[in-house]
Structures are given as structure tokens and as C-alpha cells.
Structure 1
Amino acid sequence: MSALLKEIKQRDPHHTHFHQAAESLLNSVSGYLDQHPELRTQGLLARLLEPERVIRFRVPWVDDQGEVRVNRAYRVQMNGALGPYKGGLRFHPSVNLDVLSFLALEQTIKNALTGLPLGAGKGGADFDPKGRSDAEIMRFCQALMAEFHHHMGPDIDVPAGDMGVGMREVGYLFGMYRKLSRSFGGAFTGKSLDFGGSVLRPEATGYGLIYFLQSMLTHQNESLSDKTVAVSGAGNVARHAAAKAIEEGATVVTLSDSRGTVHAPEGLDDAHLDAVARIKADGGGLDRLAEEFDGIEHYQGERPWRFDCQVALPCATENELEEDDARRLVDNGCRWLAEGANMPCTAAAVAVFKDSDMLYAPGKAANAGGVAVSGLEMSQNSRRESWSAGEVDRRLRDIMERIHRRCLEHGGDDARPDYLTGASVAGFQRVARAMLGQGII
């Protein structure tokens, strides 16, 4: 496998995020492959690590001043062995083929872990919606769909939202898709409830993260109640994970954004989280939260990991938690870490966790709640049904508990299971068998 990894790095030397994700996956499944040499045949690993298709196109659009703007857009259709390509669209200046390829590889394992019939893809554009008017965002979304609609559909490729793409953007994208395709189907998830969306989709990743964490704790005869939790980020995932943790009796002491961290020693509450949602919607920073409420301090340029906690939930972005942060968490007595973002911990940070007594759950398992409810939305669309919040929540919890059991099956079910190996092997196994069964394509 070292030769394969070397080849990948030589082929795309600047794709460092993808190299990190690929190396982690190959290392995690190496022991399983030694026991199942048939999975080394037919170039399976090389095919798994190469997208089935990459679509790149320009998106010309007109801003409010009448100026023509041009952005780059991509769709990485990574693996369709288990079903239609499924994964979000990201609008952010950092979007490039490296970032989307790593996200698509992680999505492949994540989607397989859910047990749902979902392939994997990831896409987006280097368009920044911040500071843009609704009219500009609508025109950009419509221009993007003028090209992308050729490559998607309910049984082909089903995008969703991601960073910079919320329900508003999905609505504009879906509307243009509906017009161009002349069909009203489940070709998007994360839609408004007014036209085929599912309840709990905005909350799903955050809620699913807490359900997976609760399974981890239960396995050790522990509970979330009375635990101190540090959360990074202030977006959808972070806020809803914090809200669910508070509901389950935990004390959530931090949130963060690009400007710094807020710390609430006595814990955040629902009023604080509502204020964060309002502040972020206005384009403000978390320093405003400290100005509005007593008992909250803002630390400019700091990360949440300097504060004492028993549970850490990185929910911001990739590689946000570095080796020094990991050592500080371990030294401060943190015992559980579950990733709410995709690959938020560097490889060096993960190595620190594995050498300690901390239990570490990777995002490919712990943050699968979003795609799980997206799969449930697809089911509702195909059946022309709309399920209650209670029904969706029950199914989400069942899926996250099932993912946890699959991780234990391959990562050990003792007091300190290896969740990274367990998740990687369980997801890889399902995709690999499907690929072998379908021949060399």
C-alpha cells in the first residue's frame, strides 16, 4: 500500500488533504486486508482512491452592479457502487479539487456506514456567499445549475447543502433544476419543508453526533449527563450538537469562529444559542455574544481546546485541531472526542489521541447523521410521504447506534475500542464487496 500511496502523491502532489485522508484509510484497513487478500485483487484499492468522474466547469454570473463574475465549480463523483452519488455542495473560497476529493473519499466510507443505498460524491464552487445579496446568490445558483443539471438526478447524483449552502441556496438550486429538467423529484436533499424537505435535516448532523457520543459513553457505562463539553464552530452542526448535549444534561462551555472562542464556565443555554444563530446570520462574530451576556468571555484568536472539558466536539472545519491542541486536551483530562466536522483533527493530533487513554471517533462515523437524514429525505420523496419529527429522530438514532455497533465489530468491543479502524473497515468492507461484485468498471 505504500507504493499506491506514493503513486497518489506523485500524481497529484498538491492534493495534501486527499493524501491525508487516503493514508488514514489505507493504514486503518491494512490489517483487515491481510486477512482478506481477495480485496487486494482487481485493482480495487487503486479504483477506490480514484474518482469515477470529476466534472469541472465555469460559472459566469452577473452581480448587482452589472459586472460579470466567473467562478470555478466542481463535482467529484467518487464512487457509485452502492447507489447514486450522494454528498453536499460547498460554496467557499477554499473550494478546490483537493478539498472536494478528500471530502468525497470520506463521504464514501461514511455513506457506506449508514447502511443506506448511497454512493458518494462532493462538489461546490469557490464562490463566497458572505456579503452577497439574495439576488446575487440566486443568480449564481441558477448559473451553476445551468451546467450541473445535466449530471444529476434522483437515481444519478443527489446533492445537498454543506458549508455556505443552506436551505436558501438549496431552494434556488432545486428551483432551477426543476425548471431545466422539467421534473419534480428527489434530486436534492436539504430542501425546505414547503417542497419536499425533511424535518430535522438542519439538526441532523449535530443530533447524530450526540447520539453517536452517547453510544460511546454507554459502552463504557457512562452518560452524557453532567459532562463538561467543549465545542468548536458556531454553525449548524456546532449549535445543534450543543443544543442536544444541553438537552441531555451536559454543560457546554465553548463555541468558536474564525475570530476566536467564547467560554462560559457555567455553561451555555438555549438563549445563548439563539443569540449565536442571530449573530451569525447578521455576519457578526462571537465577541458580540460576550457583549450581550454576563458570564461569557471572548478570547480573540484562541481555540476552544485550552479550556478544561471531559468531551471535545470539533465541529468547525478540516485540520482545525493540531498536535499541540491534542496534547492540551489530553493533559486537561479530556476523555472522549467525536468529530462533528470532516477530518477536523490533523494526523499528528490523531496520533496523540491513540497514544493516550482518550476515545477518538472520526467524522466518517460520528458526523454521519446529516447524510443519514438526507437518505431518509430521499425515501420520503420517492414514496411521496412526509414523516413526523419523532419518526425521523427515531430512525436517525437507530442509524447512529447501528454505525456504532459496526465500529465495535471491527474496532474491538472492549473498554477502549479503536473507532478509527472500526469505522474505516466497516465502511470499506461494504463498498469493496459491491465493487468486486460489479466487475472492473
Structure 2
Amino acid sequence: MNEYVQRVIHNTSEKHKDQPEFLQSVTEVLKTIEPVVKAHPEYEKAALLERLVEPERQILFRVVWNDDKGEVHVNTGYRIQFNGVLGPYKGGLRFHPSVNLSVLKFLGFEQTFKNSLTTLAIGGGKGGSDFDPHGKSDAEIMRFCQAFMTELYRHIGPNTDVPAGDIGVGGREIGYLFGQYRRIRDSFDNGVLTGKGLTFGGSLIRPEATGFGVLYYIQRVFEHEGLVLKGKTIAVSGYGNVAWGVCKKATELGAKVVTISGHNGYVYDPEGIDTKEKINFLLEMRASQNANVKMYADKFGCAFMEGKKPWEVKVDICIPCATQNEVDLSVAEIMVQNGTQYYFEGANMPATNEAIAYLQGNGVLVGPAKAANAGGVAVSALEMSQNSERLSWSCEEVDQKLREIMYNIVDVSYQASERYGLKRDLVSGANIAGFEKVAEAMMAQGLI
């Protein structure tokens, strides 16, 4: 390994021993961009990698709110403004008990490269809170969002930082957040958040965008590989917006999703989650205060495998769409044993580095999250464009732009991989293509 890359990985590991998710991400990215660093010795003199792995700004704050009984609760709020050399910081807000500094730093770091790959003028950021919206009333969620935005508003703006939704933050939460921002600022800056409702500046197909983007990514990869997507079977984890979008677009393109999963097990539907009734039921299920993936099995007479993961099902393509590190080495071994040939990431860093290495080492074609799931942030940036120009594009226009962006991500990933003699390595290709653009901008803007 290049001595400079090795030193930065070591020093980062020593400095951030208590942040495993962040260290996993940094290690994976820096190892794969080693050929670029070796070709540019000027990066070491400018301490480019040392700057790259440190967020430009880390904002932590307390969030105090009342529940419906009048009891006071205190949560921690975060906004990690990781890298803004390509544009305003852009990345989602996550409300989930698992949220901590390590998780958000890894997400912000990955977001920097993902946003670079879109070719849109957006930097990388991430934020959220350890607040759990599950089981809370609308009034409680509104009060929390208002308290959260009362601090966050100081640090964001259409040309500074533009948050979006993520796990636990959907259209309802974005609406409450935007309403509080507007009230505090006394200004209708609808470009300050994306994922908004259509009546106040939102974009069509935003909820489906990540899932749609994954399928467009796969479609383009298959074109490069001389394959056909139609007729392929797909295992999906999760049942949120990403899984929902995957089911919709896979059906449209002739593939078939046969699993969804939740925290307590998975559903296997061999007929496919491919009818309007089934796909729409995912929305109904998620909207329930007692949401449980078993509801799908009960309604449609499918098998529910309690306490298990969907990767034991034999399929052509695996697409994890739930959360980070759900695919470890043992899961990767099951995928290979089942004959899975294609693995594409709909969630952020759903697999460990060991799992990815095992899959690639056994001939599985891997599409990494920062490339395959870039559709969500791409449409968020398209929403920003519509807001700035006071436009509202049709579904067809947004969908076409999304497809073009995802196709380009695949193309530049293949090109970067081949340029450095890493044929068919889409993980390294995506990291290299994203890094090259960020590195060039960092060098051009000096020591900031």
C-alpha cells in the first residue's frame, strides 16, 4: 500500500478509535483511491487526504421537547458539514436511536463522493438525531421537529447547507421542519430543504428516487456486461421508501422482487411484489403506528420467516435497502453459496469491508452504495434546481434526468476502473471517479 495512504489510515484510526462506522468507510475509500494518490505526489504535500477525512464542521446540540403527557425529553442533534468544495453541503437528516457521531461522519464522508458522482454542484453533509419517531404521535413528532429546527436553522441555507430526509425523516417531518424554519426566518426559502411536499416546492418522484436510481444503475451495468434485466429475481431488505421504489421500478423493467424485511424477520413472496395493490400496501404498512413486515405476509398469504434475513433465498440479484452493516461475512458466504451473481447497495454502507471483499473475490459483481443509491440525492439536487428557477418539472422530465445521471455514474465508474487497470471493479471505480473531482476542487481552492 502507498505509504502516504497507509499513514493517513493509521492516524485516522488512532484519532477516532471510538468511531467504527467512520473508520470502516475511510479505510475502504482510501485503499481504493491509492492508484490516484500514487499518481499525484502533490496531494501529500498539500495534506489533501488529512483534510479529506476531517469534516469541515461538526455541529452538536441538545433538542428539548415535550411529549403528549407534558413530560420533558432531551435528545442530541447533529449536523456534519463534511466537504463543501463542490457546492452547498447536501445530505439527509436521520431520526433513529442508532444515530451517533460515528454513523453521521461515515454518512457525510460517503455523501461527499456520492454527490460528486452525480456531477451536480453539491457538497457532502449529513445530520439527524437519536430521537425515535416510531410510536410517537403526530403532535410529538411536530414538537420535536420544531425544537430540532430551532437550533439547526442557524447553520443551513439554500447556498450553505440543504438537508433532506433519511431514515425516520419523510415528507411529514420535512414539512414540520420547513414550517419552523419559515417561521423563524420569516422568509419562504423553499430551497433550504428537499423532500418537501408538492404544494410548497417539492419534486415529483422524490420518495421513489433512490429505489428508481438503483434499478437504472443495474440496468446500465447489465448493458455494459451484455446482460438483460428482464426476468431476473431480486431479494430486497427493508420496506421503506428505497425498497418501495425498487419494487416499483423493477416491476416496470420486467424484474421481480420476492422479499422484503423488517427488524423481526422477512417475507418471501415467490409470485413477486409486482402488483399495484402489493406495492401500495408497503406505504400503508409503513404508515401504521404498529408497522410490521408480517402485515404483508398476513394480507397476501406469504411466508413470514421470523428472526431471519432474506439473503437465504436464492435469487439473481441482492439489494440491501435497510441500514448499515446488515451484510457481514457470514451473509456474504450465504449469498455466494446460493449462486448470487449481482449485489447492489440501496442502503448506505450495508456491508462490511470483509463482506465486500469476499463477494468480489468470488466473482460477484458489486455496485457500491455511493454509486447505486445516488438517485435520492440526485433528485434532491434537481428539486433545488426547480426551486431556484421557480419551475415544476413533470414526472417524465425528472425520471429522464435521473436515468441520465445514474447511467453516467455507471459509465464513469467503468472508465475509472479501466483507467487504473481495475477492470470490472465498480467499487474502486466509483471511489476513484468521485475522489478525482473532489481532489481537483480542493487543490484549486487552496488550504481551506
**TM > 0.5:** yes
The one-letter code of the counterpart of 1:252 is V
1:260 alignment counterpart: 265
How far does the alpha carbon of each residue in 1:152-203 deviate from its partner, in whole angstroms, 9 at most, with x for none? 1000000000000000000000111111112212000000001000001001
The one-letter code of the counterpart of 1:338 is F
CA RMSD across the alignment: 1.3
How far does the alpha carbon of each residue in 1:68-115 deviate from its partner, in whole angstroms, 9 at most, with x for none? 111100100000100000000000111110000000000000000000
Tell me the distance in 1 between the aligned counterparts of 2:186 and 2:439: 36
Tell me the distance in 1 between the aligned counterparts of 2:43 and 2:395: 41
Q: 1:286 aligns with which of 293, 296, 309?
A: 293
1:372 alignment counterpart: 378
Aligned-pair identity in percent equals 50
Q: CA deviation at 1:412?
A: 2.4
Q: Within 5 Å, give how 1:129-278 maps onto structure 2.
A: 129-185=133-189, 186-270=191-275, 271-278=277-284
CA contact (8 A) 1:251 1:267 kept: yes
Q: 1:15 aligns with which of 19, 29, 33?
A: 19
Paired positions, count: 440
1:319 alignment counterpart: 325
Q: 1:401 aligns with which of 407, 420, 429?
A: 407
Tell me the distance in 2 between the aligned counterparts of 1:39 and 1:375: 29
Q: 1:423 aligns with which of 423, 430, 441?
A: 430
Q: Is structure 2 residue 393 aligned with structure 1 residue 387? A: yes
Q: CA deviation at 1:416?
A: 5.8
The one-letter code of the counterpart of 1:247 is E
Tell me the distance in 2 between the aligned counterparts of 1:415 and 1:30: 12
* TM-score (ref. length: structure 1): 0.98
Q: Is structure 2 residue 440 aligned with structure 1 residue 433? A: yes
How far does the alpha carbon of each residue in 1:232-287 deviate from its partner, in whole angstroms, 9 at most, with x for none? 11100011111211111112111111110111122222222222321221132121
Tell me the distance in 2 between the aligned counterparts of 1:237 and 1:135: 26
Q: CA deviation at 1:339?
A: 0.2
1:57 alignment counterpart: 61
CA contact (8 A) 1:359 1:416 kept: no
Tell me the distance in 1 between the aligned counterparts of 2:270 and 2:61: 48
Q: CA deviation at 1:36?
A: 2.1
> Structure 2, unaligned stretches of length 5 or more?
none
Q: CA deviation at 1:313?
A: 0.5
Tell me the distance in 2 between the aligned counterparts of 1:429 and 1:266: 44
After the TM superposition, which of the residue ranges 6-15 and 364-373 deviates more from structure 2? 6-15
Q: 1:349 aligns with which of 355, 363, 375?
A: 355
Tell me the distance in 2 between the aligned counterparts of 1:148 and 1:87: 14
SS of the residue 1:312 aligns to? strand
Tell me the distance in 2 between the aligned counterparts of 1:335 and 1:277: 30
Q: 2:110 aligns with which of 90, 106, 111?
A: 106
When residues 416 and 233 of structure 1 are mapped into structure 2, their CA distance, relative to the original with a 3 A threshold, is farther
* TM-score (ref. length: structure 2): 0.96
The one-letter code of the counterpart of 1:73 is G
CA contact (8 A) 1:219 1:415 kept: no
The one-letter code of the counterpart of 2:447 is I
> Structure 1, unaligned stretches of length 5 or more?
none
SS of the residue 1:412 aligns to? helix
The one-letter code of the counterpart of 1:419 is L
